[in-house]
Amino acid sequence: MEAGLKHPIFDPVRQWLDRTGGSPPLGLLNSLSEEAGLRSESGKPIRFVPPAAADPYYELQVYETGRVQTRAGSRHDLFNALAWLAFPKTKARVNAMHASEIPRERELGRGRRGRLRDMLTIFDEGGAIVACADAALMDLLLAGRWRELFWEQRARVVDALRIVVVGHAVLEQALAPYAGITCKVVLARPGEDLDAQAAARISSLTSPKELPPLPVFGYPGWLAANGSPAFYADLRHFRPRAAAAAR
C-alpha cells in the first residue's frame, strides 16, 4: 500500500495520510476531526465509530448523530474518513441531501433509492472535481474526446487541468490502478475553494446523468501505459459521448 500512496491521485488527502501512517486507530481520526472542526450540516461533530448493526438509512444516522461507522483495517472506510477531512463541505452537503430525501422516499413507499440519492451515492463513492479554466479542454472532456484531450492536448492538460478525486471508493481502487477506473465529475474554477464549489454544484443536481464521466487514469503520466496514443484507442475505457452535460 505504501508505494501506491505516492501516486498524485492521493495528493488531496496526503497531509492526513502522512499524519496517520495509512492505518490509523479511530482515536487518531477523531483527534484530526476535532482539530478540523468537522461537523454535519445539522451541527453534530463528526466522529468515527466502530460499526453497529446494519442500518438501511446510514446517511440519516450520520446527519442526526455525526457518527460515521468506520471498520478497523478497512481501506475503504479509511479513505471515507480522509475524504471528510479533505472535503468537509462536500461531504456534509452530500450527507444532508441524503437526509433530506430519505423521509420523502419513505412517504412515497419506495423500496430503493431514487435518482437524487443515486447521484449522491455515485459522487460520494466515485466523484471528482475537475478544475480548469480552459474552455476548449472542457469541451473535449464533456464530449468524451479522450484521445484529443489526453494525447493531442497533453501539454495543455498538464498545464491547465487538475483532477481532484473526492470519491473514497476510487481512492481505494487507485491503490492498484488500471485504465478503466472512471470518476463522475463536477467542474470548478481553479484558484478558488474547490470543496465549496463542489458542494454548491452537487446541490443543484438531481440525477446521475448530470455528472459527466472521466477515465482518470488517462491523465498524462498517471499510468505508465498512457504514454502512447494507442492507449486511448481502447473503447472499453475511452468511449466518446455526447457533450450534453451542463457546466
DSSP 48-114: EE---S--TTHHHHHHHH-EEE--TT-HHHHHHHHHHHH-HHHHHHHHHHHHHHHHHHHHHT-SS--
Domain-located, residue 184: yes
Task: Check whether residue 108 and residue 94 sit in a common domain.
Answer: yes
pLDDT at 2: 53
State the DSSP H helix or E strand holding residue 161, giving kind and residue range, or none if neither.
strand 161-165
Q: Given this model, what pLDDT does residue 52 score?
A: 85
How many structural domains are present in the chain?
2
Q: Are residues 31 and 96 in the same domain?
A: yes
Do residue 144 and residue 223 come from a single domain? yes
Three-class DSSP category at 116: helix
Distances in Å between the Cα of 92 and the Cα atoms of 96, 98, 191 are 6, 10, 22
Give the pLDDT score at 244: 41
Pinpoint the alpha helices (H) of the chain: 14-20, 26-36, 58-65, 75-86, 88-108, 115-126, 135-143, 146-147, 154-160, 168-173, 194-203
State which of 88, 122, 156 marks the end of a domain: 122
Same domain membership, residue 136 and residue 31 = no
Residue 110, pLDDT score? 67
Among 94, 122, 150, the domain boundary falls at: 122
Same domain, 163 and 145: yes
Instruction: Choose one of 69, 103, 122: the last residue of a domain.
Output: 122
Q: Is residue 242 one of the residues assigned to a domain? A: no
Residue 238 within any structural domain of the chain: no
Residues with pLDDT less than 50, the chain: 243-247
Structural domain contains residue 93: yes
Q: Answer yes or no: do 138 and 57 share one domain.
A: no
118 and 15 in a common domain: yes
Same domain (yes/no): 104, 157: no
Cell reading at 68: 460515521
In a domain, 240, yes or no: no
Q: Tell me which residue of 1, 24, 21 sits closest to 77, measured CA to CA.
A: 24
Range(s) of the domain holding residue 177: 126-233
Asked if residue 118 and residue 8 are part of one domain, the reply reads yes
Residues 137 and 220 in one domain: yes
- pLDDT of 247 reads 38
Residue 245 lies in a domain: no
Residue 243 lies in a domain: no
Do 92 and 27 lie in a common domain? yes
Do 115 and 140 lie in one domain? The reply is: no
Q: Is residue 247 part of a domain?
A: no
